[in-house]
Every structure is written in structure tokens, then in C-alpha cells.
Amino acid sequence: MLLSIALVPMLAPRFWHRRMGGIAAAWTLAVLLPLLALDGPGAAWHLFWHAVLAEYLPFVALLAALYAAGGGIVVKGGPWGTPAGNTALLALGLLLAGEMGTTGAALVLIHPLLRANAARRHKTHLVVFFIVLVANAGGITSPLGDPPLYVGFLHGVPFFWPLRHLVVPLLVLAVPLLAAFWLLDRWLMRGEAPARRSRLRLRGRRNVALVAAVAAIVLGQAAAPAWPVTLLGETIEAGRLAGLCGLVAIVALSQAITPRGLRRANMFSWEPMREVAIVFAAIFVTAGPVLAMLAAGPTGPLAPLLALASDATGAPVPVAYFWLAGLLSAFLDNAPTYLVFFGMAGGDASLLAGGGSRVLEAIAAGTVFFGALTYIGNAPNMMVRAVAARRGVRMPGFFAYLALAAALLILPFGALTLWLAR
């Protein structure tokens, strides 16, 4: 499935856009049919329905709610369009991502960034840095920012633990990248006239309220009683089911109250959301066996890989957790990956958030930051790419983006490795 995402759009772009759903369905069946033959319909149904009900539907409902509401917020004017202004917008996105999630911040701010720089010749770097910083790194400061931290919150990690422990890793990564962006943007802008400045205006305040409602729903799911509800043989907590319904209601409400002019100003289309929904449906199902191998721990088939995360005494090695959890998160869904390594480290939130905080810091930083390495590392990456392409930005392919992101992140990741080994 991952190779299809990487290769088919590059080798046969028209075929990919017309047959994306069929490709995703084929790989999904390639997992389910052998399981059906070997272990029976019950095992195949459990794998499929658990991935859909417990993981995929809450994930895609949250994305759809933020996508709908964010697409109805229009930011016009402001200081963007110059190297200093563009850098300030990225810094603003870093702050907002922790409050409204990487998806919400990315979908609100990508439009003013591209609108202010529409006349420039070189724009690809704007989107690449935006994906790395706003669509990924900024989400590390709160459980609202990125799914892995929300999973930790649901498993007992205090709400403000990321803000107390993960600001330093964020600064280690973000400060040099912001400086590098300013220098690169200044160099690429030489000889070009900067955008005309105008008064900063915000339209779509009702959708701002809906984004706040999404945050309230996310927090409310953690506070709701853990009453089990069984649907077609799979159990889900009543709070999560109610949250799912609430997010769907927000999508419908945003569609109903948003004037068409606001959608047009953002060149809004459901196509990026459709692509993400199709691709990640297949990823969630096909990743199931890999995550099960990881969850099997020292008795499973990936035991030699997982053994790298412990020293001779069996104590967890934070640096190994950072790189292993991170690299897997770049190609698998980062929330289940966080949960697997959280369990490997003991699964006791009170211990991990206290004396074992360095291990938890490594897991959180790895699963959040490495999501920027690929287009599929975090769902907003694909959305931002699609929005940029609709606005005429020539975006790199899967492997070209991977190379660019790795070049940007290798030194910050090295610095974080030293910080975790302290």
C-alpha cells in the first residue's frame, strides 16, 4: 500500500486519481482474504471492523470536522509575502497547532501563506517548511495538537505534561528551521517585488467557534464515562461514539452556515479530504498485522528490532525509542505506534510521566516529529500538498519530498538525539 502511494502517482498520475479507491481496496483484500482462508471469517471481520470502528472512523471524523471548519475561515491581508512575514506566519502556525491541532492550524494558515506569495516564482519551499513545522512539529505542545499525544492523554498522561516537557525539543527543532527558512526565502526572493501589505482581516468567525467546539469534543471524550457499547461485535466507549457523532454534526453544521464566498476564497474542495479518507482507510487495515507484530513484543517476529530499544539490563533506551517509534510513525499511523511503544515502556502513565519522563519524551517527540518525513506520516501533510497543488504550486513526489524533509530534519534530529542521551 505504501509503495502504491509512493510510486503510482509518480508513474501513472491519471490512473492513480481515477483508480485510487480500487488500488486501496485491492491491498485491503490482500490482507483480509488470506486471513479469511487461514483463520476464518471471524478473524478477518475482527481485524477489519476494529480498524474501522476503533481507529479509522474517529480519525477521519476529526479530520473532516477540522477540514470543513478550517476551510470556512478566511485570513486576508497581514504582513505575509516577505521573508520576515512568511517566517512570522510559520511561527504563528507553530503556536496555533498546539491549540487547534495540526490539521486545523494547517488548513487555516496555508491559504494566506500561498495567497500572499502567489506571484512568486519559487514557492515549493514555502509548503515543505509549512508541512514540517505547522502540520507536524507544532502539535507537540498539547494533547489537542497531535493524535499520539491525545492517545497518551487518554491513557493517563496529564494534559499539561507535553507543555512542561516537550517545549525544549520543539525549540531545538523549530528555531534552526525557522532561521534556515528565513535565509532561504530571502535568497529565493531576490529580484522579486514583495507582496503589497494590507490590513489583516479574519472572516468566518462562526467556523472559528466550530474549531473550538471540536477541541471541546476531543477533551470531552476523555472525561466521559467509559461505558462500553458493542456494535457488530466490536466494543467502543460510549464517549468516543458520542464524540464521533458530534464531529459528524460539526461537518454538517459548517456546510450549512458557511457562505459560498468564503469557500471560494479558500478554493475549497472536498477532493483532498476524499483522497486522505481513501488512502488512510487502506493504511489502517493493512497496518494491522504490522502493529500486531510490534504489540507481540519480545515474543513476536519483530523481537530483534524491538530488542534495540533496551539495554543489557532490560531498561529502555530513550534514543532508541525516539528513532524506532519515529521511523515507524513516518510510514505507519503514528497514534497506534505511540501506543505500542508506550506499552513497551511499561504502560504506566504515572511512572512514565514522572521518573521515566525521558522515555516518554522520546516516544512523543519521535511519533510527532517524524510524521513530517513523508506525505503519509501525518494526515495534514497530504491535505496541505493537495491544497498547494490546487493553487498551482509544483509539489515534489513522494521520494523527492522524503529527501527534502530528511535533509531539513537530520541535524535537528541529531541534536534531539544528544538531548535525549543527556
In the predicted structure, residue 139 carries a pLDDT above the cut 80: yes
Determine the 3-state secondary structure of 229 from DSSP: strand
Model confidence pLDDT, tens digit, residues 10-41: 889 899 989 999 999 999 999 999 999 999 99
Give CA–CA dist 39/145, Å, rounded.
39
Give CA–CA dist 68/49, Å, rounded.
26
Other C-beta atoms closer than 10 Å to the C-beta of 192 total 12
Determine the 3-state secondary structure of 204 from DSSP: coil
pTM recorded for the entire structure? 0.86
Dihedral angle at the C-alpha atoms of 174, 176, 177, 180, nearest 10 degrees? 160
Q: Which of 274, 275, 377, 386 is nearest to 329 (CA)?
A: 377
pLDDT of residue 202: 87
Average pLDDT rounded to a whole number, residues 232-252:
91
> What are the cell numbers at 322?
525516539
pLDDT of residue 104: 86
In the predicted structure, residue 187 carries a pLDDT above the cut 80: yes
Question: Is the Cα dihedral 142, 143, 148, 154 positive or negative?
Answer: positive
Sequence ranges of the domains in the chain: 23-420
Cβ neighbours of residue 30 closer than 8 Å, sequence gap 6 or more: 286
Beta strand extents in 142-274 (DSSP E only): 198-203, 228-231, 234-237
Other C-beta atoms closer than 10 Å to the C-beta of 60 total 22
What φ, ψ does residue 395 adopt, rounded to 5°? -95, 145
Cβ neighbours of residue 287 closer than 8 Å, sequence gap 6 or more: 51, 332, 333, 336
In the predicted structure, residue 86 carries a pLDDT above the cut 80: yes
Of all residues in the chain, the percent with pLDDT exceeding 70 is 99
Q: Which of 50, 104, 59, 117 is nearest to 291 (CA)?
A: 50
Of all residues in the chain, the percent with pLDDT exceeding 90 is 48
Give CA–CA dist 352/358, Å, rounded.
8
pLDDT of residue 156: 83
Give CA–CA dist 151/157, Å, rounded.
9
Q: What is the mean pLDDT of the chain?
A: 89
In the predicted structure, residue 190 carries a pLDDT above the cut 70: yes
Average pLDDT rounded to a whole number, residues 376-385:
89
397 close to 9: Cβ distance less than 8 angstroms: yes
Give CA–CA dist 98/163, Å, rounded.
9
Determine the 3-state secondary structure of 234 from DSSP: strand
379 close to 329: Cβ distance less than 8 angstroms: no
pLDDT band at 356 (very low <50, low <70, confident <90, very high): low
Segment holding 76, helix H or strand E: strand 74-78
Amino acid at 27: W
What φ, ψ does residue 59 adopt, rounded to 5°? -65, -50
pLDDT of residue 322: 96
Among 172-186, 236-250, 334-348, top mean pLDDT goes to 172-186
Model confidence pLDDT, tens digit, residues 301-337: 888 887 888 887 778 899 999 999 999 999 877 887 8
Helix 271-286 vs helix 379-390: angle between axes, to the nearest 10 degrees? 150
Q: Lowest mean pLDDT of 51-55, 127-131, 243-247, name the range.
A: 51-55
In the predicted structure, residue 66 carries a pLDDT above the cut 70: yes
86 close to 126: Cβ distance less than 8 angstroms: yes
